[in-house]
Chain A
Amino acid sequence: MRRFHPFYFVRRALANLRGAPRPAAVTASTIAIAIFLFGAFWVFGENLYRTLVGWAGEGDPLVVYAKRGLPPATTEALARQIQTQPEVARVRVIPPAEGLKDLRRTLGSDADVLEGIDAEVLPAIVSVGLRGTTLDPTVTELLAARIRHFEGVEMVDSQVAWIERFAKLGRWLMWVGIGWALILGFGSLLVIGNSARLAALTRKEEIEVLRLVGASEAFIVVPFFIEGAVQGLAGSLLGTGALAAAFFALERSLEDGSLLPLFTPSLAFLEPRLIVVLLTAGPLLGAIGSAGSARRYLRGVEL
């Protein structure tokens, strides 16, 4: 009965890697670059999306302007009515005086232009926070349309549309990046395939001898498979490690520059399951590319 030879295969694969370290390094580096770019785009897109969603969740994307001169009690009643809507998480009434104060703060040194203006010229505002991270413009628009018909409402302003546009842009960028990384992944597969073909060519005599002593195709190809997997694992570890290092360095520099609070809730690295996917992708890519190429080479060789 024929047996599986883990010891022989690993021994051969490691000996081959030691024998030709340069092509192995090129393959590992190519995989590392592909993994790094894929991860970087994923992290960038994910954080952009999270930040936008965070802004939408923390800020109040719906602003309801009450009719000017509406008594405070009626404004409070309007706020309570808005609060009863299922999509609404919270409401906050901003009386005209507080609105004017906010406006002054926003204008900063130019606040002088508001000198002599009476707060009563401003309408009371009901700032509406949405439940969860609802960013669907259709839902928000339907809610805005309902609120517009409430007694005492002058105007409803929805900021969801542009947040959604940014979020879409973020997602789009993420997928463009992933697409790019996939192209790079395919490129790495070609590089891996070529270096495996090169390795097969340089080991032509060895393959010929193996064939002549009756080695099966699997017996010849498995060391190539292991070599590819080892190169891929090295590439994965290198790529993911470099990505983690770059991410935490960036996070630290943002912290130092007090820019981190801009990101809501905070910057996030890859989820553990995605790290596992990246660490698995490299060896798979390497093994399949290497063994596939060696196999194609063998099929084309007489003997």
Chain B
Amino acid sequence: MIILCDLAKLAKRHLLGAGRDLRRSASLCYDSPRVIRLYHVSKVYPPRFTALSDVSLAIEPGEFVFLTGPSGAGKTTLLRLLLGAETPTVGQVVIGGRNLVRLGRRGIAKLRRSTGMVFQDAKLLPGLPVLDNVALPAEAAGESSKEARRKAFALLRDLGLKDLVRRYPRSLSGGEQQRVALARALVNEPGLLLADEPTGNLDEESARRVVELMVRAHSGGATVVLATHDPQLLGAVSGRQITLRAGHLVDGGAAAE
């Protein structure tokens, strides 16, 4: 699948129209996944709250990783570190060979364009219809509005959300909002998908649909890091489980070398 994606991207670059056709046949086509390494990472919030303490771990390309632990364990902090939304107090976060601590604003923005993030509360922009919400990361990544919308529409159609394109977030159910948020996270075909309790507020059926989409992204080649404390979710999908407790890594974190 990954080889097919790379071929489609190459063709898109050189042949434009032909690339589109190839990509359609490959459905979602993710950036090359990157190795993630955390070296002795601690995060302390002022005045003295330790969210993460000396966490070292490695996530290999294409892995599906569950980040588990009770509330306040440090799951969200870890995801935010991977997104470059936080800087570690101590230690280093390296993604695809790039140390996030040393990346400037531009470098972080570039990294985020190839990283999809889903939040517990969806964080859709209320003033934009679904299509524009989903197209937003593509526009931010430099696509023309027309191309970004075309990509967003194709993705929504593939994810079975075609009927929602003209609707505004406030008119959607929680499950629909979360699936749209997932579509937004996937529109740039990221190599890394981060999800923070995406099913936390959803009923069972909606949660199942969201997880299905994440599994689809994973089978498309993306590395998925999913923070959850939902045991049903853990049983539904096979993946490595990393457990945090009170900021400490207690299980499943193959240490980064």
Question: Which residues of A come within 8 Å of B, CB atoms?
Answer: 1-3, 5, 7-8, 11, 15-16, 19, 205-206, 208-217, 219, 302-303
| Contact call B140/A213, Cβ cutoff below 8 A | yes
**In whole angstroms, what is the CA distance A1 to B141 when docked?**
9
One of B22-30, B61-69, B104-112, B232-240 contacting the partner: B104-112
Q: Taking A214-B109, A215-B109 as contacts, is the C-beta distance between A8 and B85 under 8 angstroms?
A: no
Known pairs A7-B144, A219-B139; list 18 more (Cβ under 8 Å): A3-B142, A3-B144, A5-B144, A5-B145, A11-B145, A206-B127, A210-B140, A212-B85, A213-B112, A214-B110, A214-B112, A214-B137, A214-B140, A214-B188, A215-B140, A216-B106, A216-B140, A302-B85
Question: Which residues of B come within 8 Å of A, CB atoms?
Answer: 83, 85, 105-106, 109-115, 117, 123, 125, 127-128, 136-137, 139-146, 148, 184, 188
Min C-beta distance of A60 to chain B, whole Å: 70
Q: Taking A8-B145, A303-B85 as contacts, is the C-beta distance between A210 and B136 under 8 angstroms?
A: yes
| Contact call A2/B142, Cβ cutoff below 8 A | yes
Q: Which residue of A lies closest to B146 (CB)?
A: A7
Q: Could you show 23 A-B contacts with beta carbons less than 8 Å apart?
A: A2-B142, A5-B139, A5-B144, A7-B144, A8-B148, A11-B145, A206-B127, A209-B123, A209-B125, A211-B109, A211-B112, A212-B85, A212-B112, A212-B123, A213-B112, A213-B117, A213-B137, A213-B184, A214-B140, A216-B109, A216-B140, A219-B139, A302-B85
Q: Which residue of A lies closest to B138 (CB)?
A: A213
Residues on B with C-beta less than 8 A from A216 are 106, 109, 140
Q: Which of A2, A19, A206, A212 contacts B83 (CB 8 A)?
A: A212
User: DSSP class of A's interface residues: helix, strand, loop or mixed?
Assistant: helix
Q: Which of B112, B113, B125, B184 contacts A206 (CB 8 A)?
A: B125
Of A11, A15, A209, most buried by chain B (CB within 10 Å of CB) is: A209
Min C-beta distance of B197 to chain A, whole Å: 16
| Contact call A8/B139, Cβ cutoff below 8 A | yes
Min C-beta distance of A232 to chain B, whole Å: 23
Residues on B with C-beta less than 8 A from A212 are 83, 85, 112, 117, 123
**In whole angstroms, what is the CA distance A302 to B188 when docked?**
24
Q: Taking A19-B127, A205-B123, A209-B125 as contacts, is the C-beta distance between A1 and B85 under 8 angstroms?
A: no
Q: Which residue of B lies closest to A215 (CB)?
A: B140
> Which 10 A-B pairs give the minimum distances between C-beta atoms?
A214-B112, A214-B113, A2-B142, A215-B140, A213-B137, A7-B145, A8-B145, A214-B109, A3-B142, A8-B139
**In whole angstroms, what is the CA distance A210 to B111 when docked?**
13
Residues on A with C-beta less than 8 A from B113 are 213-214
Residues on B with C-beta less than 8 A from A214 are 109-115, 137, 140-141, 188
**In whole angstroms, what is the CA distance A58 to B148 when docked?**
70
Residues on A with C-beta less than 8 A from B127 are 15-16, 19, 206
Residues on B with C-beta less than 8 A from A303 are 85
Q: Which of B105, B125, B142 contacts A1 (CB 8 A)?
A: B142
**In whole angstroms, what is the CA distance A93 to B48 when docked?**
99
**In whole angstroms, what is the CA distance A210 to B184 when docked?**
12
Residues on B with C-beta less than 8 A from A205 are 123, 125
Min C-beta distance of B141 to chain A, whole Å: 6
Residues on B with C-beta less than 8 A from A219 are 139-140
**In whole angstroms, what is the CA distance A148 to B141 when docked?**
83
Of B128, B136, B143, most buried by chain A (CB within 10 Å of CB) is: B136
**In whole angstroms, what is the CA distance A2 to B144 when docked?**
9
Residues on A with C-beta less than 8 A from B109 are 211, 214-216
Residues on B with C-beta less than 8 A from A206 are 125, 127
**In whole angstroms, what is the CA distance A215 to B112 when docked?**
8
**In whole angstroms, what is the CA distance A16 to B110 when docked?**
26
**In whole angstroms, what is the CA distance A5 to B144 when docked?**
6
Q: Which residue of B lies closest to A3 (CB)?
A: B142
Q: Which residue of A lies closest to B190 (CB)?
A: A214
| Contact call A3/B125, Cβ cutoff below 8 A | no
Residues on A with C-beta less than 8 A from B117 are 212-213
Residues on B with C-beta less than 8 A from A8 are 139, 145, 148
Residues on A with C-beta less than 8 A from B115 are 214
**In whole angstroms, what is the CA distance A205 to B137 when docked?**
15
Min C-beta distance of B152 to chain A, whole Å: 12
Residues on A with C-beta less than 8 A from B112 are 211-214
Residues on B with C-beta less than 8 A from A2 are 141-142
Q: Which residue of B lies closest to A11 (CB)?
A: B145
Residues on A with C-beta less than 8 A from B110 are 214
Residues on A with C-beta less than 8 A from B137 are 213-214
Residues on B with C-beta less than 8 A from A7 are 144-146
**In whole angstroms, what is the CA distance A210 to B117 when docked?**
12
Of A211, A213, A303, most buried by chain B (CB within 10 Å of CB) is: A213
